[in-house]
Each structure stands twice: as C-alpha cells, then as structure tokens.
C-alpha cells in the first residue's frame, strides 16, 4: 500500500520537515534513528543540520525518493528497507530517535518500543508526533484504526524508561502534503532516556 502511495513523482507529505520536529531539532544528537522515514523529508532536514541519520521504512519506493531528496540537497542519509515488526536497532548506539506519523499496531509497538528505549544512549532523546485517538473523528489524515492512534497514557505506558520532557495532546493545523492537511489532534512527545532503571 505504501509503495503505491509513494509511486507518483510528488512527495506525499512534502519535502519540508514536520514542524514539531523542526521546532525541537536543536535537542537532538546523532546518530539519529528515524522510524518510518518514508520519503525522507525529516531525515534530509536533520542531515542538513549536520546530524548522522539512519532512516528505516518498509517502503523501498519511499526510501528511493528519500535518497533522491538527499542528493538534491547535497546531504547524505543512510536508509534501510525493513519491517519495523522485525527490525532490531543496535543497542546503546543512538543519540536520538525520531518518530513522526509512524503509526504502528500495538502488536508491533509492544515489541519495538522496548528496543527503541534500549537503542538510545543514556540522556538520548526521542521526538514523537502521532495522531491521537481523537483524530478518528476527523478526516484530515491518519489511520482509521484506534489501536494505531496514540494517547499520552499509551506513550507513558509504552516508554517507561523515558522521562517525559514534554508530553501533551493538542489540536494543530497540519500542512504537510496533500495527505496531511487541516486541523488535527496530535500527541507530541519528547522523552529522555533515564540514567537508571
Ligand atoms: C504517514 S507515513 C509517514 C512518513 C514519514 N515519517 C513522514 O513524516 O513523512 C507512514 C510511514 O510508515 C511506514 N510504515 C508503516 N508500517 C511500517 C512497518 N511495519 N515497518 C516499516 N515502515 C512502516 C510506511 O511505509 C510510511 O512510509
């Protein structure tokens, strides 16, 4: 389904970074693991700040466009075609993890998120934005599946090793390509890996 959605020449979510990520990118250290990188708008932006980026997505079509975007901006990103349902990131390796509209079913999150916590170095940061459960009632983007939508409680429960620096639900105007456009309900999360657990 994603290969098909990405098959056109246009960038479905645009070529500019997600605005929540852009606003807080100064908090990030590399290497950065970008979950569900898609067509590369976020990874390419982070690489342009001088960060080392590793973008993972199941869609080879999306990641080919990510590499094309990187070339056009004269930056380098590492991309890896992988299903996050089986992907295992290197432990204690990343300075940051980025998860923007990376909606996954709870069966996948329950396996992946403990590995995400483990892949971060102590003090490492995650920046996550996802549509909230309230978004189900809107038609401005996001999956039509409650299980794949987030709440602050789900974030807290699913990332017990991360100290929330910021965690809230808000309504915001999203203008990120034709597929994400209009007033939306989102969860925004910045978490820091604790020193002891
Ligand atoms: C809404 S798009 C967001 C893309 C990108 N993060 C952005 O903000 O532009 C969701 C992405 O999740 C990817 N994805 C969904 N399920 C996945 C899985 N199980 N493993 C890897 N990638 C997945 C899709 O291929 C798609 O690129």
Q: What is the pLDDT of residues 6-24, one digit of tens each?
A: 999 999 999 999 999 999 9
> Where is pLDDT greater, at 177 or 151?
151
Would the CB of 141 count as within 6 Å of ligand 1?
no
User: For residue 86, what are its two tokens?
Assistant: 């089986």
Is the pLDDT at 101 greater than 90? The verdict is: yes
Residue 7 CA to residue 27 CA, distance in Å, equals 33
Is the pLDDT at 49 greater than 80? The verdict is: yes
pLDDT (average), residues 102-111: 98
In this prediction, residue 174 carries a pLDDT of 86
Core vs surface per residue 40-79: b (16+ CB within 10 A) or e = bbbbbbbbbeebebbbbbbbebbbbbbbebbeeeebebbb
Would the CB of 83 count as within 6 Å of ligand 1?
yes
For atom 26 of ligand 1, the residue with the nearest CA is 38
Residues 181, 122: contact at Cβ < 8 Å? no
User: For residue 104, what are its two tokens?
Assistant: 């996954």
For atom 3 of ligand 1, the residue with the nearest CA is 101
In this prediction, residue 84 carries a pLDDT of 98
Q: What is the pLDDT of residues 21-33, one digit of tens each?
A: 999 999 999 999 9
Q: Residue 73: pLDDT band by 50, 70, 90 thresholds?
A: very high
In this prediction, residue 183 carries a pLDDT of 92
Q: What is the number of residues in the chain?
A: 197
Residue 184 CA to residue 139 CA, distance in Å, equals 9
In this prediction, residue 197 carries a pLDDT of 53
């Amino acid at each position: 389904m994603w290969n098909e959605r990405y098959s056109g020449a246009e960038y479905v979510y645009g070529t500019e970074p997600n605005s929540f990520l852009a606003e807080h990118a100064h908090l990030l250290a590399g290497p950065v693991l970008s979950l569900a990188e898609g067509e590369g708008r976020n990874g390419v932006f982070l690489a342009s700040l001088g960060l080392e980026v590793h973008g993972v997505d199941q869609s080879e079509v999306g990641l080919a466009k990510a590499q094309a975007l990187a070339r056009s901006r004269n930056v380098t990103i590492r991309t890896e075609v992988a299903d996050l349902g089986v992907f295992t990131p290197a432990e204690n390796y990343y300075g940051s993890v980025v998860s923007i509209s990376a909606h996954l079913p709870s069966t996948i999150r329950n396996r992946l998120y403990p590995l995400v916590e483990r892949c971060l170095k102590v003090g490492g940061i995650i920046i996550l934005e996802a549509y909230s459960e309230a978004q189900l009632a809107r038609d401005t983007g996001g999956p039509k599946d409650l299980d794949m939508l987030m709440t602050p409680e789900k974030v807290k429960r699913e990332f017990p090793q991360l100290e929330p620096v910021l965690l809230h639900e808000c309504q915001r105007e999203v203008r990120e390509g034709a597929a994400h456009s209009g007033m939306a309900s989102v969860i925004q999360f910045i978490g820091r890996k604790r020193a002891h657990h």
